[in-house]
Amino acid sequence: MKLSRDWLAVIAAAVLVALVKLGVVAGIPW
Amino acid sequence: MVVPVASPSSLALTASRRWLSLVPGIVVLGVIGYAGKIAEQSIAAYGRAHHLTLPNIEYVLWAIIFGLVIANTIGVPAICEAGIETYEFWLKAGIVLLGVRFLLGDVVRLGGVSLVCVVVELAVSIAVMTLLGRAFGLSPKLTSLLSIGASICGVSAIIAAKGAIDADDEDASYAIAAILALGAVSLFVFPLIGHALGLSDHAYGLWVGLAVDNTAEATAAGALYSEAAGRFAVLAKTTRNATIGFVVLGYALYWIRRGGAARVGHRGAFLWEKFPKFVLGFLAVSALATAGAFTKAQAADIANLSRWAFLFTFAGIGLRTNVRALVRQGWRPLVVGVAGECAIALLTLAMIAGLAQRFLS
């Protein structure tokens, strides 16, 4: 099954949110 | 007949090659976006060091200008094209992550206000574009595509509708070119008008979300005004995007009745297929933030990730704007687009002015 770009974006964002929540990713600068 | 079956290893190789082909373009997006950020910071630092009051030009505009200049002068190597096309992926991921900056109550309240405006905006946009399309003798399907592009969400709506109403490739590229040209102009015009009228961040964001057609340009035009305005523009635009399935379905049914399009299967499935799924991601992140799932530092991290995703998007807006291709499209769709968009911008501005005192602070 081919995922649409919409779903890919949602999954990528969900992974990032999970990484931040778990503390794997922290202190993102801007 | 023997059907060739690809082995798992060759499939994995093809997939990894496809992913690798995205890398050069993504690097270009990152470099141009970051150059925009450095330009903004350098000018601000220069002004501070020399006690000068320089205009604060946001990285958003620099990234777009750098991309525009590169794409229309030296051009972009073919090897980078696939990666540059990912700018829409970054936009959608950025919107999902931006959900962390909205409490669900605000989404419901402002989304409700936006939805009322969106319904009015849809009706007026479709009516205005249809009348203008007829007056300028555009083909009925091109008029339909321009109406859909102007009323909902620019390029993705036109692409979604193209298949549903069996429009020609030429009509679709005409409509897309007109919407993109107007989007590029709105990036410069909307912030100027907003500042001239002294609109609040809420009012300006809502206006941009309602009147600028393409999601990427609406996000950029909002961010050019202020960060808060950018957030409200995204919220209003997302509400507008959520109606895409209904409008495209309406047009598909209209063209089926006129014998100009193939049948639509199950209507619920059609609506779901056209629904922008990143809206669900945005609501989910907003719900998590409302439920207190993130600490203050974590929310700041997620918001910063959203900013980085938008940085890639803004570089992409400039890079995929081909001025020569826009000029080649001819003047009539552009005139219809300009006249229609001006009418829509004025009407939505009047609506916002009416709402400003009651709902927006």
Query: Residue range B253-281: average pLDDT?
Result: 79
For residue A17, give the nearest of B15, B102, B299 by alpha carbon.
Answer: B299
Q: How many residues does chain B have?
A: 361
Please list every residue in chain A whose beta carbon sits closer than 8 Å to the beta carbon of residue B100. Answer: 17
Q: Which of A21-30, B102-111, B122-131 has the lowest mean pLDDT?
A: B102-111
Q: How many CB atoms lie within 10 A of CB A1?
A: 2
Say what the pTM is.
Answer: 0.79
Give me the pLDDT at residue B167, please: 79
Give residue B318's pLDDT.
86
Report the C-alpha gap between B357 and B338 in whole angstroms. Answer: 29
Average pLDDT of the residues of chain B: 85
In eight-state DSSP terms, residue B60 is H
pLDDT at B2: 52
What are the φ/ψ torsions at residue B217 (nearest 5 degrees)?
A: -70, -35
pLDDT at B3: 53
B127-134: long-range contacts (C-beta < 8 A, 24 or more apart)?
A: B128/B340, B128/B343, B128/B344, B129/B336, B129/B340, B132/B336, B132/B339, B132/B340, B133/B336
Domain topology for B23-359 = Na+/H+ antiporter like fold (1.20.1530)
pLDDT exceeds cutoff 90 at B1: no
Interval B103-115 mean pLDDT: 78
What percent of chain B stands above pLDDT 90?
32
Average pLDDT over residues B276-305: 92
Least confident segment among B23-27, B77-81, B174-178, B319-323 = B174-178
Does pLDDT of B227 surpass 80?
Answer: yes
Residues of A in contact with B301 (CB under 8 A): 20, 25-28
Nearest to B347 by CA among B108, B110, B140, B127: B127
Q: What value does the mean pLDDT take over residues B116-132? A: 87
- Given this model, what pLDDT does residue B357 score? 65
Inter-CA distances, B41 with B47, B62, B174, B315, Å: 10, 11, 38, 17
Predicted local confidence at residue A20, as pLDDT: 97
Identify the closest residue of chain B to A25 by CA–CA distance: B301
Rounded to a whole number of angstroms, the distance from the CA of B171 to the nearest CA of chain A is 24
Going by pLDDT thresholds of 50, 70 and 90, the confidence category of residue B359 is low
Mean pLDDT of B25-39: 96
Q: For the residues B298-322, what does the mean pLDDT come to?
A: 90
Confidence of residue A11 (pLDDT cuts 50, 70, 90): very high
What's the pLDDT band for B5 if we cut at 50, 70, 90? low
Domain map of chain B by residue range?
Answer: 23-359
Confirm or reject contact between A19 and chain B (CB < 8 A): no
Give B105→chain A minimum CA distance, Å: 21
ipTM of the complex: 0.95
**Residue B216: its pLDDT value, please?**
86
Choose between B357 and B176: higher pLDDT.
B176
